[in-house]
């Protein structure tokens, strides 16, 4: 191909992906055409010195914070050095496709299930896509500080008052701290399925066989389903103290 094309004699340096500085973009395009390797513009301005260190020819892919997959961590570090923006390793393994999407520059903080506060729901969705762990929105607004304490990797399931089964009590306490609603342990062991049903917002108190007063019979039935022990209605009206 006709690689050699006339270039203007102007000095507007650009940094190439091979770590070399070219006098202008036209010169870089000629180099890209002439050389076997692909050469792309990393950024305007000269390259930082001594960026490109030799990297091993191994494939241990890592995902960068720029949404790109690098063949190994060494190549990511080279890219970070060349780039004007910081590029850090998000996780081992290739990036999930099409994670980076434009987000509105608005501050509507949401709390993620990893205990981090994100500027808005769009930013959380990008983090969920980029990171290995699943990240879901726990609630609107920033997370409470110091919620996530380290939990042991043991399976001693407990049933929470939100109808969810947690692998151990420590994870339930983390969820309680993150949530805007109180989550308490109902009983040891997994929850029974489909316990939570919509109840009318009426106050017709009933007394349960566990000595507790429930707002209405529907609430008692949920408690009966969630509890390991049978909870039955003793009588209408609140329990006597």
Q: What is the pLDDT of residues 37-50, one digit of tens each?
A: 889 998 888 887 77
Average pLDDT value for the chain: 87
What residue ranges in the chain does DSSP mark as E strands?
A: 14-16, 21-22, 41-44, 62-64, 69-70, 89-92, 110-112, 117-118, 137-140, 158-160, 165-166, 185-188, 206-208, 213-214, 233-236
Query: Domain spanning 51-95 has what CATH number?
Result: 3.30.60.30
Task: Evaluate whether 99 touches 130 at the Cβ level (below 8 Å).
Answer: yes
Domain topology for 145-191: Wheat Germ Agglutinin (Isolectin 2); domain 1 (3.30.60)
| CA neighbor of 32 nearest in space, from 49, 20, 45 | 20
What class has domain 195-240? Answer: alpha beta
Q: Per-residue pLDDT for 98 more than 80?
A: no
Instruction: Tell me which residue has tokens 């000095």.
Output: 11
pTM beyond 0.75, yes or no: no
Q: Output phi, psi for 3, to 5 deg.
A: -75, -35
pLDDT grade for 102, boundaries at 50, 70 and 90:
confident
Integer Cα distance of 16 and 145 in angstroms? 43
pLDDT tens, 163-193? 889 999 999 999 888 887 778 888 888 887 7
Token code pair at residue 54? 């030799």
Instruction: Tell me which residue has tokens 């609603």.
Output: 181
pLDDT at 1: 59
Integer Cα distance of 85 and 67 in angstroms? 13
What class has domain 1-47? Answer: alpha beta
């Amino acid at each position: 191909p006709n690689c050699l094309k006339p270039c203007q004699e102007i000095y507007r340096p650009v940094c190439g992906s091979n770590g070399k500085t070219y006098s202008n973009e036209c010169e870089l395009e000629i180099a890209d055409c002439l050389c076997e390797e692909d050469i792309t513009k990393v950024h305007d301005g000269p390259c930082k010195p001594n960026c490109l260190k030799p990297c091993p020819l191994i494939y241990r892919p890592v995902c960068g914070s720029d949404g790109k997959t690098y063949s190994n961590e060494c190549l990511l570090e080279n890219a970070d050095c060349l780039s004007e923006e910081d590029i850090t390793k998000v996780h081992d393994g290739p990036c999930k496709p099409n994670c980076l999407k434009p987000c509105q520059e608005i501050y509507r903080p949401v709390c993620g299930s990893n205990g981090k506060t994100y500027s808005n729901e769009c930013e959380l969705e990008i983090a969920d896509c980029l990171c290995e762990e699943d990240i879901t929105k726990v609630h609107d607004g920033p997370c409470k500080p110091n919620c996530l304490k380290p939990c042991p990797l043991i399976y001693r399931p407990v049933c929470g008052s939100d109808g969810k089964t947690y692998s151990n009590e420590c994870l339930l306490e983390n969820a309680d701290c993150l949530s805007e609603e109180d989550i308490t342990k109902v009983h040891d062991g997994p929850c029974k399925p489909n316990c939570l049903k919509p109840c009318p917002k009426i106050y017709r108190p009933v007394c349960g066989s566990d000595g507790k007063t429930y707002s209405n019979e529907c609430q008692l039935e949920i408690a009966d389903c969630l509890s390991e022990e049978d909870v039955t209605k003793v009588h209408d009206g609140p329990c006597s103290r």
